[in-house]
A and B are shown apart, each in its own frame.
Chain A
């Protein structure tokens, strides 16, 4: 299943770097389902700004490090 948003993210890498935090643990800490975390990681669902900030805070990384958005005209 392909990506449905231009927003990319480094959540998986950051989770693994933060003591191999599981998707379930991240989901629990930001108050969403594990399926939502999976969808965000795979680029199938762009999170709200609030959820993005929560993820960033839990992973202890700035928002720009967790989420990226390509410049206009850049192909995915």
Chain B
């Protein structure tokens, strides 16, 4: 497995696990109060920062475990990255219609903030999935 592919698995795992933990936290908090009333700001920022830190730590760990592979990144890696990033951008752009609509409807900040976060998560997930499929099945 190419190092870039290992990196993608790490990226995808963090992209799924951290927001899932955030969702569980929000749902637990929502047991005692209305969902839109939940104090989501601190947990959301914590999830975002935790994702970045987890990725950095795991990438560095992977690079230490497979030092030879980490440096080599070729044209195929770059083409796959470009294709995945493009798909992620399209996903993000399309999904942003939802928070934009919520803003126009002047709904609560909770839903606006969380749909934007969801757009980021979906974009990263789709982008990683497209890249992994390209590595596995070609393009």
Which A residues contact B (CB, under 8 angstroms)? 1-5, 31-33, 35-36, 39, 42-45, 47-48, 51
Contact = CB atoms under 8 A, between A and B. Distances in A.
Contact of B76 (A2, A5, A32): A32
Given A33-B2, A33-B3, A36-B74, 13 more contacts: A1-B138, A3-B138, A4-B138, A31-B74, A33-B77, A35-B2, A36-B77, A39-B76, A39-B138, A42-B138, A45-B76, A45-B138, A47-B75
B77 A1 contact: no
In this complex, which of A33, A39, A43 has the most chain B Cβ atoms within 10 angstroms of its Cβ? A33
28 contacts: A1-B136, A1-B137, A1-B138, A4-B137, A4-B139, A5-B138, A31-B74, A32-B72, A32-B74, A32-B76, A33-B2, A33-B3, A33-B69, A33-B72, A33-B76, A33-B77, A35-B1, A35-B2, A35-B76, A36-B74, A36-B76, A36-B77, A39-B138, A44-B137, A44-B138, A45-B138, A48-B75, A51-B75
Nearest to A36: B76
Interface in B59-93: 69, 72, 74-77
B131 to A, nearest CB: 13
Contacts of B2: 33, 35-36
Nearest to A32: B74
Q: Is the interface of B mostly helix, strand, loop or mixed?
A: helix
Taking residues whose C-beta sits less than 8 angstroms from the other chain, chain B's interface range is 10 to 19
Contacts of B136: 1
Contacts of B138: 1, 3-5, 39, 42-45
Nearest to A48: B75
